[in-house]
Amino acid sequence: MNTRFSANADKLNPKFEGYRLRPFQEANDLIRFPLGDIQVYEPTNDQRLGFRDLQARIRHSNLIYGYPLDESRGSSFCIDQEFNLHMIVYDQLTKNLQTHLITQLIKPLGGIPAFVDLDSTVPIEPQLPSAVSVSRELLLASNGVGDIELIGMEEKDGKMLGTSLASVCYLGVGNEGISPVPCMLLAARQIKAKIICVVYSRTASKTTEFNIATLELDIPTETTKRLDDGSFVLLLKTLHIQTGPEVPVYCAITPSGKCIFGSETRYNNVRLLQHEDDDVVEDGKATPMEIVEESPKQDAYQWSQEGADITVQFQLPENTPKAAINCKFLVDHVILLVQNSSVSYPFRKLWSTIQPDESLWTLEDNTLTLCMTKVDENTRWPQLFDKDDGILETLSDQHLSEIKDRLAKFTSEDNASSLVPNPSFVQAAQHPAATDMDEDVDDAGEPVVFSVYDRSGNVVDEFNSGTSRWICSSYEAANKLPSVCLQMDVDGLVFTLTEVGDKIQIEHTATFDAFAFVQASKRDARFIHHDIDCHFTSIIESSRNAYLYYHHDDKRLEEVQTLIDLTQGHDTDIIGAQIVHEKTLLVLTESHLVLICLD
């Protein structure tokens, strides 16, 4: 694996001086449309979520991208509290917005019945309703409790009409503890007569764990079997499932049907055993598949410590040359990349600090050894990296014997009474809030690993952001892979991803001057995106302002930034943002649609 995100010097602007604030011409270029009777869906406040789950929900936009209707009209969607799907049509010629009620999604009946006794780890709370545009005529939607619907749309006499063509229950992978499984849509794409989509759901575990499932369904035709109510039978096939501690920050489906997941952690594959009768459908629901998790993988390395010395060993493929190894020691980080191997630590934070000048690496008999010297020799490290990867220290027989002797002293009958803890202390230690402390949260951020999966769930390509910090991805655009923006020094570098065979080609296409600097200074930044054509980038707060930064390719010394008060000081949340036309941004608040026209 390698970074492949390399900067193009011709796209950099080292002489850039800064942004010049220009007041936004609200009278001409900003229009506010009251939502009226539309009350956008909001989750109840009694749900207790982990950090990673909450993080994914904050990133979620309640304003859903829609395909352009023609050259002058763009569209978007939202789902209200009654699970009605509304289409928002923007006409560039008249600068007017119209809302159309398309259809009502399957409305959840309520919570879990009182007589059902579920384990406390089962995630029974519903997910947010979500939807993804597949084409001008098709949209895939989920009500958050496990029902996935295919919505068909058409324009008739100036009105947008729609209906639910088919629906199916998402049965998950079997480790969620509930069926149907509450899920959210991340991406969807039409490939010939099929739709590939990606959903995520929570597993039943004490720590936060997500299943990222890639599914396939057939687009109904006139020959497709229908149910008694006239709707089509929708067959849902599970292609592959990845499991990990967080929802991908980047999720895209390529034109050939491969999936790209970008996350700070790698995902583990869950193998599916498909039986010959899996295609049998009863009452319109596909039978679930048997799930077999992969056997535990061998530890990627071994490590031990003695006083101030830490030794880490990696087993490399045969005949690996020293020239294939890139290793650098920093005060609290290590950079280690080995070509043609699985050893990849592009910028990994250590548990504590080391002395780089006294640290070195050696290669002998295909064994790579890192010898690091601690700054504090009296501190024993509980793990090698700041973010625990579960690899325990390899202890010598002598060290194990010493630990055993110490435990024997404390567990003797003479000392047993003095070691009995105070019952009140034990009760206090079991406070529910303590469970949230088990999750690893690295405020500084880790390199984002991009993995490309084929239809069988095999990783066919992999690359990472290296030492560059993740900033954002682009707003959605029809039939295009979202571009990504990474931090390099104070700038934000935009990279375009293109599928070429089994590989993803990456090109540095634009630079948002000093954007990494201004983005890092914003404490409240809910929606951070740039448009796919790199005309501007936006930082939208959760309750007040939108900061817009313009971009041109002529390497000018100054660029323009502008500030827009979206809520005009009212206690109103900002819950969505999307591009509805070129250089036209639509923002959704709890009470208004705010249309921003950029020159």
Q: Are residues 459 and 561 in the same domain?
A: yes
Q: Are residues 537 and 452 in the same domain?
A: yes
Q: What is the pLDDT of residue 466?
A: 85
Where does residue 75 rank: exposed (0-12), middle (13-18), buried (19+ CB within 10 A)?
buried
Pairing of strands 232-233, 159-169: parallel
CA distance 219 to 39: 31
Is position 398 within any domain?
no
Q: What is the pLDDT of residue 343?
A: 85
CA distance 130 to 67: 16
Q: What is the pLDDT of residue 560?
A: 95
The count of structural domains within the chain is 2
Sign of CA dihedral 432, 436, 298, 271: positive
- The Cβ of residue 512 has, within 10 Å, a number of other Cβ atoms equal to 24
Give every CB contact of residue 258 below 8 A, 6+ residues apart in sequence: 452, 453, 454, 455, 460, 499
Is position 578 within any domain?
yes
Q: Which of 333, 361, 385 is the last residue of a domain?
A: 385
pLDDT tens-place values along the chain, 599 residues long: 467 899 999 999 999 999 999 999 988 899 999 998 899 887 765 556 777 888 888 889 999 999 999 999 999 999 999 999 999 999 999 989 999 999 999 998 765 544 445 556 676 778 899 999 999 999 999 999 999 999 999 999 889 999 999 899 998 877 777 878 899 999 999 999 999 999 999 888 777 889 999 999 998 887 777 776 667 777 889 999 999 999 999 999 999 999 999 998 889 888 665 444 444 444 444 444 444 444 445 678 999 998 899 999 999 988 889 988 989 999 999 999 888 887 888 778 899 999 999 999 999 988 999 999 999 888 889 899 987 777 888 876 666 666 566 556 555 555 444 444 444 333 333 333 333 434 443 344 578 999 999 999 999 999 988 888 999 999 999 889 999 999 999 999 999 999 998 889 999 999 999 999 999 988 889 999 999 999 999 999 999 999 999 999 999 999 999 999 999 888 899 999 999 999 999 999 999 999 999 97
Asked if 457 and 241 touch (Cβ cutoff 8 Å), the reply is yes
Q: Supply the CATH number for residue 336's domain.
A: 2.60.40.790
Q: Alpha helices of 270-396 — where are they, by DSSP H?
A: none
Whole-angstrom CA distances from 59 to 252, 373, 411, 451, 516 are 15, 40, 50, 20, 18
CA distance 381 to 152: 58
Q: What is the DSSP letter of 343?
A: -
Q: What is the residue whose two structure tokens read 């904050």?
A: 58
Of 531, 550, 436, which Cα lies nearest the Cα of 54?
436
Is position 378 within any domain?
yes
Is position 291 within any domain?
no
Whole-angstrom CA distances from 329 to 220, 290, 318, 334, 346 are 57, 45, 25, 5, 11
Asked if 180 and 171 touch (Cβ cutoff 8 Å), the reply is yes
Q: What is the residue whose two structure tokens read 């002598």?
A: 398
Q: What is the pLDDT of residue 473?
A: 96
Q: Supply the CATH number for residue 208's domain.
A: 2.130.10
Q: Are residues 523 and 587 in the same domain?
A: yes
CA distance 262 to 443: 18
Q: Are residues 306 and 247 in the same domain?
A: no
CA distance 344 to 346: 6
Instruction: Return the amino acid letter for 298.
Output: Q
Q: Which of 335, 354, 385 is the last residue of a domain?
A: 385
Q: Which of 369, 385, 401 is the last residue of a domain?
A: 385
Sign of CA dihedral 69, 73, 74, 75: negative
Q: Are residues 311 and 170 in the same domain?
A: no
Q: Are residues 222 and 326 in the same domain?
A: no
Please tell me whether residue 355 adopts helix, strand or coil conformation: coil
Strand order in the sheet with 159-169: 130-133, 138-142, 147-156, 159-169, 232-233
Q: Are residues 569 and 469 in the same domain?
A: yes
Asked if 523 and 544 touch (Cβ cutoff 8 Å), the reply is no
CA distance 247 to 262: 9
Q: Are residues 253 and 370 in the same domain?
A: no
Q: Are residues 341 and 471 in the same domain?
A: no
Q: Are residues 593 and 475 in the same domain?
A: yes
Where does residue 546 rank: exposed (0-12), middle (13-18), buried (19+ CB within 10 A)?
buried
Asked if 103 and 164 touch (Cβ cutoff 8 Å), the reply is yes
CA distance 376 to 331: 12
Q: What is the pLDDT of residue 282?
A: 42
Is position 499 within any domain?
yes
Q: What is the pLDDT of residue 455?
A: 92
Is position 75 within any domain?
yes
CA distance 221 to 348: 51
Is position 256 within any domain?
yes
Q: Are residues 335 and 481 in the same domain?
A: no
Q: Are residues 70 and 136 in the same domain?
A: yes
Which domain, by its residues, includes 216? 9-106+122-264+446-597
Is position 395 within any domain?
no
- The Cβ of residue 509 has, within 10 Å, a number of other Cβ atoms equal to 15
Q: Which two tokens stand for residue 76?
A: 């978007």
Of 465, 544, 560, which Cα lies nearest the Cα of 512?
560
Q: Is the whole model's pTM more than 0.85, yes or no?
A: no
> Which residues pair with residue 567 across a beta bridge?
none
Whole-angstrom CA distances from 534 to 22, 336, 482, 483, 549 are 19, 33, 12, 10, 10
